Amino acid sequence: MMRKFLITIISLFMISCNAQKRKKKSMALHPENLSIGMTRKEVITAMGEHIPLKIIGAKTYPNGTVEVGEYSDKKLIFGQGIVQERYYLYFLNNSLVQWGRPQDWQQEADRVYEVRMR
């Protein structure tokens, strides 16, 4: 009888802990939720409203306005400590056309340069 009671209590505790984990919203950035063509408002919702989108640059061209946004956050990575996580987002006329980490774009620019030199 006591054993059944103990098993029931432990089961209920585990179920309630699991339910609480699902309710908590992750405080990390979520670039995996982004899609080309999203509006700025959709991007803010997808990335997580807990971290603000900073517009760090803008320029007007004949076909529209380009705005550069930045998401910046710190996260803990095992073996590396606290690491800065940064994403740049390019909007053309309020529509997402490109995003990525700054170091990713430099690698791509280097590859393009190498191809052009051949």
Q: Count of residues for the chain?
A: 118
More confident: 9 or 87: 87
- Cα distance between residue 100 and residue 61, in whole Å: 22
- Please report which helix (H) or strand (E) contains residue 112, including its range: helix 102-117
Q: What pTM did the predictor assign?
A: 0.62
CATH match of 26-117 with 1.20.1250.20: no
9-62 tens-digit pLDDT: 777 666 665 544 443 345 577 888 999 999 999 999 998 888 889 999 999 999
- For the chain, the structural domain boundaries read 26-117
Which has the closest alpha carbon to 51: 35, 38, 70, 66? 70
